[in-house]
Amino acid sequence: MAHDGTGLFFDGATSAKRPVLLQLSPEGLVIRDAEDRDMLARWAYDRLEHIAAPDGVFRLGLAGSRVPVRLELRDMELAHRIDEASVPVDRSGATERRGRLKVAGWSVAAMASLVAAAVFGVPALANQLAPLIPLRVERLLGDAVETQTRKMLDKGDTSRPFVCGDNPVAQAGQAALKKLMAKLEAAAGLPIPLDTRAVRRSEANAIALPGGHIYVFEGLIDKSENVHELAGVLAHEIGHVAHRDGTRAILQAAGLSFLFGMMLGDFVGGTAVIIGARAVLQSSHSRGVETAADRFAVRLMEQVGGDPRALGAVLTRIAGNNHPGMDILSGHPDTKMRVKVIDDLAKPASPPQALLEPSEWAALKRICKGP
């Protein structure tokens, strides 16, 4: 009986190998015993599958078989003919290469989707979610972020406490700061209490953390020539608290880490807290966010009878002394533009009221002095 080639047949049940004769028929690959010529199997071409094998060996299996039957042959000409007759079989490796290209393509698409989500999706989601975060949760997050932020900022003289106002010399200054913040806080009418602290940092800066925590740096107090300038900056930071900009910044930076922490109620020591603290310290608020905080500051200063243009004055003074990544101007809209907006928003000039007594302002200027 005519045949096209020979090979070895493994029945999948035993380790024995049986020499066989192979014939390519219109119905499929016919496998016969080499001795008695009995037909052992007929494998349809569309059920053949190419199995990896050493060089010089062509190995086939039967897709869907209940046992791991296989066929091996060394006649590469016959292997080529089987390759041409069977669509699933691909000795050239083109199918595998196409599969790899497809996997690579999907991987690139998945990466592009993640990048798009990070650049566009997360910020958009953060803007929607920030106002929905319960104040109690924001306060818990703020407490954790405040602890982490202090660790990041407290790199100065270890012999002096990071927070000013604890020594007898500075207690009068602490009382003056509390009095000033009480006026601003009462006029702002926030649903969350503020916790404002003067800290020993030389940068002309103030930052608002989630949950109502505000740090005013010693450098800003030194740069402020009168109480209205300092109050204007504090009013600006209160605007960030009112608009929950710190929480929004953390949502954008920490993303899912914050959401998981919120669901589990575990913020302390969490990744979101570390990322969030860095985000608040290093983030550059958008022009719209900063303009909104400036508007809030102008209105708040008018409510307490202060000078609403004082914020523009102190911004102009410190504009030439930037400390990248740390001061009140870093990453913010152009200072001249901000000052113009502030001046345009302010009502016609009128004599401002005294927010503090001269002695109280003098004490506030010394709040970080002494041991």
CATH number, domain of 38, equals 2.30.29.30
- When mean pLDDT is compared across 22-36, 127-141, 291-305, the lowest value belongs to 127-141
Integer CA distances (angstroms), 5 to 22, 46, 51, 56, 66, in order: 5, 20, 19, 15, 26
Assigned token pair, 107: 């991987």
Same domain for 266 and 340? yes
Q: Which amino acid is at 215?
A: Y
Rounded-to-integer distance, Cα 295 and Cα 276, Å: 25
Same domain for 260 and 150? yes
Same domain for 196 and 75? no
DSSP string over 107-145: HHHHHHHHHHIIIIIHHHHHHHHGGGS-HHHHHHHHHHH
Q: Which pLDDT does position 322 carry in this prediction?
A: 47
Say if 119 falls within a structural domain. no
Same domain for 256 and 184? yes
* Mean pLDDT, residues 113-119: 43
Same domain for 147 and 31? no
Same domain for 222 and 342? yes
pLDDT at position 118 over 50:
no
Say if 113 falls within a structural domain. no
Element (H, E) at 60: strand 58-62
Q: Is there a contact between 217 and 199 (Cβ–Cβ < 8 Å)?
A: yes
Cβ partners under 8 Å of residue 253, min gap 6: 275, 276, 278, 279, 283
Q: What percent of the chain has pLDDT over 70?
A: 73
Q: Which pLDDT does position 323 carry in this prediction?
A: 42
DSSP string over 289-346: HHHHHHHHHHHHHHHTT--TTHHHHHHHHHTTS--TTTSTTTTPSPHHHHHHHHHHHS
Say if 340 falls within a structural domain. yes
- List 215's β-bridge partners, or say none: 197, 207
Q: What is the pLDDT of residues 119-169, one digit of tens each?
A: 444 455 556 666 667 788 788 878 888 888 888 888 766 678 899 987 777
Say if 112 falls within a structural domain. no
pLDDT at position 233 over 60:
yes
Same domain for 194 and 87? no
Say if 125 falls within a structural domain. no
Q: Is there a contact between 306 and 355 (Cβ–Cβ < 8 Å)?
A: yes
pLDDT at position 342 over 60:
yes
Same domain for 138 and 242? yes
Same domain for 47 and 156? no
Assigned token pair, 121: 């999706």
Residue 116 — very low, low, confident or very high, per pLDDT cuts 50/70/90? very low
Record the pTM: 0.62
* Mean pLDDT, residues 328-353: 76
pLDDT at position 114 over 50:
no
- List 214's β-bridge partners, or say none: 196, 208
Q: Is 11 helix (H, G, I), strand (E, B) or coil?
A: coil
Residue 102 — very low, low, confident or very high, per pLDDT cuts 50/70/90? low
* Mean pLDDT, residues 326-341: 66
Q: Is there a contact between 130 and 248 (Cβ–Cβ < 8 Å)?
A: yes
Q: Which pLDDT does position 254 carry in this prediction?
A: 64
Residue 175 CB neighbour total at 10 angstroms: 15
pLDDT at position 301 over 90:
yes
Say if 68 falls within a structural domain. yes
Integer CA distances (angstroms), 255 to 30, 72, 275, 324, in order: 61, 55, 10, 25
| Numbers of helices and strands, H then E, in the chain | 14, 10
Say if 34 falls within a structural domain. yes
Element (H, E) at 308: none
Q: Which of 32, 60, 92 is the last residue of a domain?
A: 92
Rounded-to-integer distance, Cα 255 and Cα 119, Å: 11
Same domain for 317 and 189? yes
pLDDT at position 264 over 80:
no
Q: What is the pLDDT of residues 32-54, one digit of tens each?
A: 999 999 999 999 998 998 888 88
Rounded-to-integer distance, Cα 371 and Cα 359, Å: 21
Same domain for 149 and 78? no
Same domain for 34 and 151? no
* Mean pLDDT, residues 327-352: 75
Q: Which pLDDT does position 120 carry in this prediction?
A: 44
Rounded-to-integer distance, Cα 369 and Cα 349, Å: 34
The number of distinct structural domains making up the chain is: 2
pLDDT at position 280 over 70:
no
Assigned token pair, 346: 């302010």
Of 300, 314, 296, nearest in space to 229 by CA:
314
Q: Which pLDDT does position 268 carry in this prediction?
A: 46
Residue 351 — very low, low, confident or very high, per pLDDT cuts 50/70/90? confident
The whole domain housing 290 covers 133-365
Residue at token pair 């000409």: 77
